[in-house]
Amino acid sequence: MNGNSRQNMSMRVGEDILALAAGAGLGAGLMYLFDPNRGHSRRARLVGEAKGLLHRGESRAQKRGRDLLNRIEGIGVRLAEEVAPMEPPSDEILLERIRSRMGHIVSDPHEVEVRVEKGVVTLEGRLAHPERRRLTEEVRAMHGVKRLNAHLGRRLILSPALLVGLGAGLALFGKRNPPTAGTNAAQ
């Protein structure tokens, strides 16, 4: 036998083993689904999962379609503004738009006082740095804002991760320096 025939025979044996394993797997799967005792419930569950998968796929496609339509509408509005600029909104409408947008950016919108006078927006209060930066960027970009006066101080954020880290540090510190037997721990 030459090298080519050995290689061909080896490939055929490998294919035969693969076919045997696929057949055994298919047989086991059919036995599982058509078991006289529990096969009906297994088939029903499989059908339910398949329907759920299809429904989730349809839902995702609908969301993507709506998102695409909203983006196209936004581009259309921006193009229309370029051709015929829109009137700036009144101070009251601008104030409401800023407050509405603030509710999506700031963890506690009541911490910030907003005033609008002739398109000049004044923000006063205390915010965490990331919130302060994002709020000022978004307010500056809003249609109708002529100028922004941001008088926003810093607010310390006590995040859960920070509190856990502090607790762990205190626990480690307490284990490293335990009170000795002769001292009073309450001192």
3-class state of residue 84 by DSSP: coil
Domain boundaries, the chain: 91-154
**Chain-wide mean pLDDT for the chain?**
81
- The answer to whether 127 touches 155, Cβ cutoff 8 Å, is yes
pLDDT 10s digits, 10-54: 777 778 888 888 888 888 888 887 888 888 888 888 888 888 887
CATH of domain 91-154: 3.30.1340
Q: What share of the chain is helix, strand, coil (3-state, %, to 5)?
A: 65, 10, 20
Give residues with Cβ within 8 angstroms of 113, minimum separation 6. 122, 123, 124, 125
* R_g of the chain computed on alpha carbons: 34
- Over residues 59-81, the pLDDT tens digits come to 888 888 888 888 888 888 778 77
Tell me which H or E stretch contains 99. helix 91-105
Decide: pTM greater than 0.95: no
